[in-house]
Amino acid sequence: MTTVRRSAGRKRDPRTEVAAREAVLDLVGEGATLTGLSLVAIAEHAGVSRNSLYRRWKTKDDLYLDVLDAINPPLPDFDRPSAREDLAAHLAVLIERTLDRRASSMLRALLAEAAAFPELHRRYFAEIVAPRREMMYRIIRRGIADGEIRSDVDIPFVNELLVGPILARMGSGSSEALDPRETSRRIVDLVYSGIGVP
């Protein structure tokens, strides 16, 4: 999977990075806006020096992108016996992220304040979302190649059908009752009723 690349520089203290990311998630989870937060406030909440944050991140965009990268766990290897099972496993990872209250708050904040952070919004979708979307496309293409999925399906549209219900739940803040494995399989089974080869 493609990961966010960072330029080389001064040796980083991983404890500072973790503390800063946790501070952003805490503060946004408590209702702070991305626009309203400052590196000074984040440093104070994290219990680290302002200089250590300024050395690590030149802008809030850079810090926020690191936070967004951190809340998206690595995808597992997709080598199950069928594309259907791989799609369900992929969706289960997405559901698990939506169950993280602070992660969901961070994503909702980004979408709500996209106009204030256009470059952050663009980079999030280009560097973090796009590789995950491409993984879904690859799994769907595998299903087509293996004769599981009809060859005439619109791959991007099928992807939207699969992830849409999860993103809708996250956006409304009503994902607490979701069980990752059960919900992902129900979504895949329902979509397969329309795209599967009889």
User: Could you read off the pLDDT of 41-73 as tens digits, one per residue?
Assistant: 999 999 999 898 988 898 899 999 999 999 987
Both 180 and 110 in one domain: the answer is yes
Same domain, residue pair 52 and 124 = no
On whether both 92 and 179 belong to a single domain, the answer is yes
Whether residue 33 sits in one domain with residue 102: no
Query: pLDDT value at position 12?
Result: 61
Domain that holds residue 164: 71-195
Q: Are residues 95 and 138 in the same domain?
A: yes
Total structural domains within the chain: 2
- The three-state secondary structure class of 6 is coil
Same domain as 162, residue 78:
yes
- Is pTM beyond 0.75 here? yes
Same domain, 59 and 76: no
Cross-strand bridge partners of residue 149: 196
128 plus 146 within the same structural domain: yes
CATH of the domain at 22: 1.10.10
User: Does any domain span residue 171?
Assistant: yes
Say how far apart CA 1 and CA 76 lie, in whole Å.
10
